[in-house]
Amino acid sequence: MRIGILGTRGIPNHYGGFEELAEQLSVFLAKEGHEVYVYSSHNHPYQEQMFKGVNILHKKDPEGKMGTVGQFFYDLNCVVDARKRKFDVLLQLGYTSSSVWSFLMPSKAKLLTNMDGLEWKRAKYSNSVKVFLRRAEFWAARNSDVLIADAIGIQDHLLERFQIKASFIPYGAEIVSEFDKGLLEKYKAEGIYDLVVARMEPENNIESILKAYQGRSERLLMVGKIENQFAQDMQSQYASENIEWLGGVYVKEQLNALRHFSRFHFHGHSVGGTNPSLLEAMGCSARIVAHNNPFNREVLQENAYFFESHHDIIEILETPRDEVREASFISGNLERIRTTYNWEMVNRSYLDLMLEHAN
């Protein structure tokens, strides 16, 4: 098959979950003998035309100069190019900006769309943007040949709203078995500390976590970009000696070590489906404290502590540790990675779906 993947900033992954999926899947498909193309931003750090057997198509991406609206023009450049490629299958990762150009998608290629999370529920968006995102979700659902949901909750939502049965394919993760404690020296994290790894956005329950730790003795490390207004407001409002803001950490080995050696790893995400960051924490044998919502429950089942407010977090912090219970959390989460959220199964599911629907 001739396969195109669009909707990401490109590979190898230097950004997030969809980029990791694009990298893992495209390399797998190439090894299986398929001709694979991944669209990448023209300013991606990797400028070669091939990556592990995958063709890289760099397209003009004006987001750096224009802001968010630049994403629409980047997607347009990718879609226009795709019309010339004679793809058998196009895999679209997400819909927030690319679905605007649904009417331009090449008609002969089967369009498979991963519908991501419930983007229109994110608190950071204005009401007008939320209305647009609801419309974009509609465009993607109605113009795709196949919908893909990364969580059962998303699958249920799509069936209820559009009467379309999406194919369930989760994200993948790896089980990490070796951790270098020396990497913690850079962050002065040799002692006991708790950890947050997240985008600094309201729907990730950042404020609830900070409120629980403000003025306490326990040390909390915050990992994530701090350039946006919300992050700056949180830094100002919850300034405390025990709360340290590390900014983004992008070296995988460093992030794995921070996760593994933390006392508690907080996952406050509340909007969307299966979150790649959560799977990565599970694969690092972290002791997870997660926001109590259907998406996190679906992934973790009972293998975590759960919270709904800062009061719940304080209760967790002040309750004596149960090492036997926490060991069962870790073993349960590792088993979930082995049996449900592993890349081999994820990649194979995507390939089977493509073979089923390709022309």
pLDDT tens digits for range 159-187: 999 999 999 999 999 999 999 999 999 99
Query: Residue 113, SS3?
Result: strand
Token representation of residue 159: 């069936």
Same fold, 2-172+342-357 and 181-339: yes
CB 4 within 8 A of CB 85: yes
The string of DSSP letters for 57-113 reads EEE--THHHHGGGHHHHHHHHHHHHHTTS--SEEEEE--TTGGGGGGGS-TTSEEEE
Give the type of residue at 247.
G
Token look-up 């599911």 returns 349
Instruction: Provide the pLDDT confidence category of residue 52 given band limits of 50, 70 and 90.
Output: very high
φ/ψ region of 148 (left if φ > 0, alpha if ψ in -120 to 50, else beta) reads beta
pLDDT of residue 34: 98
H or E segment and range at residue 58: strand 54-59
- CB count within 10 Å of CB 33 equals 9
pLDDT of residue 290: 98
pLDDT of residue 90: 97
Highest mean pLDDT among 137-151, 266-280, 331-345: 331-345
pLDDT of residue 273: 78
| pLDDT exceeds 80 at position 272 | no
Instruction: Provide the pLDDT confidence category of residue 123 given band limits of 50, 70 and 90.
Output: low
CB 284 within 8 A of CB 179: yes
Distance, in Å, from the CA atom of 279 to the CA atom of 207, rounded to the nearest integer, reads 22
- CB count within 10 Å of CB 100 equals 19
The pLDDT tens digits of the residues spanning 214-251 come to 999 999 999 998 988 999 999 999 999 999 999 999 88
CB 52 within 8 A of CB 34: no
Token look-up 């397209």 returns 59
Instruction: Provide the pLDDT confidence category of residue 16 given band limits of 50, 70 and 90.
Output: confident
- pTM equals 0.89
Write down the number of H helices and E strands in the chain.
13, 14
Closest CA to 313 of 280, 291, 295, 333: 291
Closest CA to 263 of 316, 302, 339: 316
H or E segment and range at residue 110: strand 110-114
| pLDDT exceeds 80 at position 107 | yes
pLDDT of residue 315: 97
pLDDT of residue 354: 97
Distance, in Å, from the CA atom of 294 to the CA atom of 299, rounded to the nearest integer, reads 9
Query: Residue 13, SS3?
Result: coil
Average pLDDT over residues 28-35: 98
pLDDT of residue 120: 60
Give the type of residue at 147.
L
Instruction: Provide the pLDDT confidence category of residue 300 given band limits of 50, 70 and 90.
Output: very high
Beta bridge partners of 334: none
pLDDT of residue 220: 97
| pLDDT exceeds 90 at position 129 | no
Closest CA to 76 of 58, 52, 59: 59
pLDDT of residue 99: 84
Q: What is the CATH number of domain 181-339?
A: 3.40.50.2000
CB 265 within 8 A of CB 289: yes
Average pLDDT over residues 317-321: 95
Average pLDDT over residues 44-49: 95
The string of DSSP letters for 182-208 reads GGGGGGT--S--EEEES---GGGTHHH
Average pLDDT over residues 280-296: 96
Q: What residue segments make up the domains of the chain, in order of their start?
A: 2-172+342-357, 181-339
CATH architecture of 2-172+342-357: 3-Layer(aba) Sandwich (3.40)
| pLDDT exceeds 80 at position 124 | no
Mean pLDDT for the chain? Answer: 93
Cα of 325 vs its chain's centroid, Å: 28
Closest CA to 119 of 141, 102, 98, 94: 94
φ/ψ region of 65 (left if φ > 0, alpha if ψ in -120 to 50, else beta) reads alpha
Beta bridge partners of 194: 220
